[in-house]
Structure 1
């Protein structure tokens, strides 16, 4: 029995209250010190994907969106497979980070590689081309707040377990020519680790994008050319962003276009 099926009765129950922080105790999967991992329906794997976009872990907003969509689908008579797919597609990178993500992907030329006018299509008409995921498939909270990468993703057993089992499972299920976009340096470190395990080839991994979170607004603005270097705060390293942008643009230009 999958985790989705295990929690199916909760998600379909109209009396199940999705409120409070971080999530209801009935969805708790594990605790490790101040870290808690909860179940939310992010299990679906799009095995036809051409590109994989990988964040750190679903936040509270994304988890609530996924749980609500799964419940709506189940109450309307959808199959488990369809409910899982709809929950994943509706909630992945939902909220304010989505326009930031689309703008950065377009800026480095991902839309040209894929043969579409904008990566916005990956959230609309071309969802079948993308697999959305996270280094940590299930939502993790630190002291009840969204986990943002500290302590490190490979530094705790409960976190490493998700990477070595769930994320590795997804990579093995996906086409061998998929390209992967890890979001932010924390996820980039995870993909460096996966490369050492031989799960991926270096040309498949497009590391260097700032994380699309609103907390990275200045880095994103500079990466997109919307803010001048002279106006940056001391917290933003323009040199590293310039190098990442140049390296990503060059790498994407060298990729063979995926088969239509």
Structure 2
């Protein structure tokens, strides 16, 4: 699927995408799972780092569709419309600020030689590729999909992983680094790593998912909430171990960069 196939429909549409996605954009149904098209096709082939979420939610999908519709109506090329849509919508909202704070906290900005990972969303977008394990938005019984059922356990979801995400990894090449957001996305990358699509040293895993619903884990990861005040829903041992592994891997990379 691509914007080419939906451009005429999108240009003519007066649909309010923020409320729900129209049935004309439905790509597949599997039980309570529905996958819709939204313009997240653009791949920044020159990226040095990839930020990978689970799947675009309704907020991100509606922003991407609105931007693509606006670009197409202004006469933009399909490629420009795809790029603008993706850059406008990727990790939009509170998720973006949480992500920037966590990336800066572990020092990814120093690895990329930029002042802050906020620049990955404005002046230094050429360094980053934004994507999701599931390229196109998925809903479970009408609600945003958040990783359950597991992505590799359902044919329609596994197809997205092994077709779209695998294709992006091949395009981006062996020097690119990947930041999977949360353990569910890490599982997907470990599956693709086992298939030989990328190496362990390309994975910068360990960040909690940046969703606003994950506020306590994020606060603890950033050092903002003390261990003794955590609820039973947050396991500090797991977070501490993941963070230590990530910091060690980043320290090794910075050392290797200085030796190059």
Q: TM-score range by the shorter chain?
A: over 0.9
**Partner residue, 1:121:** 119
CA 1:121 to 1:20, structure 2 compared with 1: closer, same or farther past 3 Å? closer
Q: Residue 153 of structure 2 aligns to a residue in which SS?
A: coil
- Residue pairs, 1:24-173, within 5 angstroms: 24-173=22-171
Instruction: Write the deviation string for residues 218-249 of structure 1: whole angstroms up to 9, x where unpaired.
Output: 00000000010011011111111111111111
Hey, what's the Cα distance between the residues in 1 that align with 2:175 and 2:251? 16
What RMSD in Å do the two structures reach over aligned CA positions?
Answer: 1.2
1:34-80 deviation digits (Å, cap 9, x = unpaired): 00000000000000000000000000000000000001111111101
Alpha-carbon deviations, 1:157-214, whole Å to 9, x = none?
0000000000000001103200000000100100110110000000000111100001
Query: TM-score, structure 2 length as denominator?
Result: 0.96
How far does residue 250 in structure 1 lie from its aligned partner after superposition?
1.0
* 1:12 Cα deviation after fit: 1.2
Q: Runs of at least 4 residues of structure 1 off by over 6 A?
A: none
Q: Is the 8 A contact 2:18 2:58 kept in 1?
A: no
User: How far did residue 19 of structure 1 move?
Assistant: 3.8
Distance in 2, matches of 1:21 and 1:192, equals 35
Question: Are residue 10 (structure 1) and residue 9 (structure 2) matched?
Answer: yes
Which range moves more in the overlay, 156-165 or 233-242? 233-242
Equivalent residue of 2:152, what SS?
Answer: coil
Aligned length: 256
Q: Secondary structure, in 3 states, of the residue corresponding to 1:84?
A: helix
Say which structure is richer in helix. Answer: 2
Alpha-carbon contact 1:21-1:144 (below 8 Å) kept:
no
**Matched residue, 1:209:** 207
**SS of the residue 2:67 aligns to:** helix
Conservation of the 8 A alpha-carbon contact between 1:184 and 1:211: yes
Per the alignment, do residues 251 and 21 of structure 1 end up closer, same or farther by CA in structure 2, a change over 3 Å counting? same
- Cα separation, 2, equivalents of 1:38 and 1:124: 28
Query: Does the aligned pair in 2 maintain the 1:149–1:186 contact within 8 Å?
Result: yes
CA distance in 2, matches of 1:185, 1:59: 18
2: CA distance, partners of 1:192 / 1:169: 16
C-alpha displacement of 1:21: 5.0
Q: CA–CA distance in 1 between the matches of 2:56 and 2:69?
A: 18
Partner of 2:183: 185
- Call closer, same or farther: CA 1:182–1:141 in 2, change over 3 Å: same
**Counterparts of 2:27 and 2:19 in 1: how far apart (Å)?**
15
